[in-house]
Copies of this chain bind each other. A is one copy, B any other.
Amino acid sequence: MNYNETLKGIYPPITTPFQNDELALDKLAENIQKYNQTELSGYVVFGSNGESVFLTSEEKLILISSVKEHADSNKKIIAGTGLESIKDTIFLTNNAAKIGADFALIITPSFYKAAMNHHAFISYYTAIADSISIPLIIYNVTKFTNVNIVSETISELAQHPNIIGIKDSTENITQISESINNTPDDFVVLVGTGSVLYPGLNAGANGGVLALANIAPNECLQIYNLFSEGRLEEAKEIQNRLLPVNKAITSKYRVAGLKAAMDMLGYFGGLPRKPLQELSLNDKKDLKTILEKANL
């Protein structure tokens, strides 16, 4: 099966709404219903912005189920079910699959950083891919893991029939290009952050999983569509306009900032879960200015 066609496009790694530090499923439903109106290809539940590390297994399954319930039937559901433990990952992934996850996004294990070499990654991903009932997408996000899965390893893993793609959140355009060059044509490469959407598409990426798509789905889609139509200068212009916004929600103010921006732009963001801290009033003002400058 050629997943290039199935998986192409733009995905928001959706945030997890909390009220009083507990899941707020009604707010999740409202957000999803808004996103359903767009051409977004689907939803990533538990990308790095989903605060999945702060959720129990039960909460994770409830969320996946809830997203499935409210998502339009043509939207793909990608669930971030990777954990350090191979057993836990297989168990959680297969449960997620039963309640609606179409694809599993599996983050690189990273606790024993110095030991996470080629052989360890091959061992980890092969064991999981062999035992899960949905296709596996590798997730490389060095800023959170401090480990990197290199091109040679990706290239070998891409031979596995159940490992069908990678979400690369390194912002390293060379590495993204290598992932594209050194894997079969039907291996899916999604960039993992808005700052490299346009460069990534230029390099041949199939789309992106973008925190930015939580607050500016249509602008992200415009970049994607303009690029597809060969209207490069127009695509680049929007990309450049959004760069400061992307920086604000991913590196300057991060999850708390992304959620605050959602509140400012008509979605439900709310507060991050403990121990993450709310933005200060000053930071919110600064964030608002950044959004306004980008015409959001």
Q: How far does the alpha carbon of A178 sit from the alpha carbon of B87 in the complex, in Å? A: 40
How many copies of this chain does the complex contain?
4
Decide: A195 and B174 in contact? CB cutoff 8 A.
yes
Interface flags for A181-215 (1: CB within 8 Å of B; 0: not) read 10000000000000110110011100000000000
| In the complex, chain A residues 108-134 whose Cβ is within 8 Å of any chain B Cβ | 109, 111-117, 119-121, 123-124, 127
Decide: A174 and B146 in contact? CB cutoff 8 A.
no
Interface flags for A138-161 (1: CB within 8 Å of B; 0: not) read 000001101000000000000000
Shortest Cβ gap from A271 to chain B (Å): 12
Q: How far does the alpha carbon of A55 sit from the alpha carbon of B120 in the complex, in Å? A: 16
Query: Can you list 15 A-B pairs with a CB-CB distance of less than 8 A?
Result: A53-B111, A113-B144, A115-B256, A117-B277, A119-B277, A120-B277, A124-B274, A171-B173, A172-B172, A173-B196, A174-B195, A177-B199, A178-B243, A181-B243, A202-B202
Please tell me the size bucket of the interface on A: 35 or more
**For the complex, is A84 an interface residue (Cβ under 8 Å from B)?**
yes
Decide: A121 and B199 in contact? CB cutoff 8 A.
no
**For the complex, is A27 an interface residue (Cβ under 8 Å from B)?**
no
Q: How far does the alpha carbon of A171 sit from the alpha carbon of B178 in the complex, in Å? A: 14
Residues of B within 8 A of A146 (CB): 113, 146
Can you list the 10 inter-chain pairs with the closest CB atoms, starting with the nearest? A53-B84, A124-B275, A123-B275, A174-B195, A120-B275, A173-B173, A53-B111, A173-B199, A199-B199, A202-B202
Residues of B within 8 A of A121 (CB): 275
- Among residues of B, the one whose C-beta sits closest to the C-beta of A181 is B240
Q: How far does the alpha carbon of A169 sit from the alpha carbon of B174 in the complex, in Å? A: 13
Decide: B87 and A56 in contact? CB cutoff 8 A.
yes
Residues of B within 8 A of A203 (CB): 198-199, 236
Q: How far does the alpha carbon of A56 sit from the alpha carbon of B146 in the complex, in Å? A: 23
Residues of B within 8 A of A109 (CB): 53, 275
**Chain A residues in contact with chain B, CB under 8 A?**
48, 53-56, 84-88, 91, 109, 111-117, 119-121, 123-124, 127, 143-144, 146, 171-174, 177-178, 181, 195-196, 198-199, 202-204, 232, 236, 239-240, 243, 247, 251, 254-256, 274-277
Residues of B within 8 A of A115 (CB): 254-256, 276-277
Q: How far does the alpha carbon of A193 sit from the alpha carbon of B90 in the complex, in Å? A: 33
Name which of A87, A117, A172, A204 has the most chain B CB atoms within 10 A of its CB.
A87
Residues of B within 8 A of A116 (CB): 275
A53: contacting residue among B56, B85, B119, B274, CB under 8 A: B85
Residues of B within 8 A of A55 (CB): 85, 87
Q: How far does the alpha carbon of A269 sit from the alpha carbon of B204 in the complex, in Å? A: 35
Shortest Cβ gap from A182 to chain B (Å): 9
- Among residues of B, the one whose C-beta sits closest to the C-beta of A109 is B275
Q: How far does the alpha carbon of A199 sit from the alpha carbon of B112 in the complex, in Å? A: 26
Given A55-B85, A173-B196, A277-B119: A111 and B254 within 8 A (CB)?
no
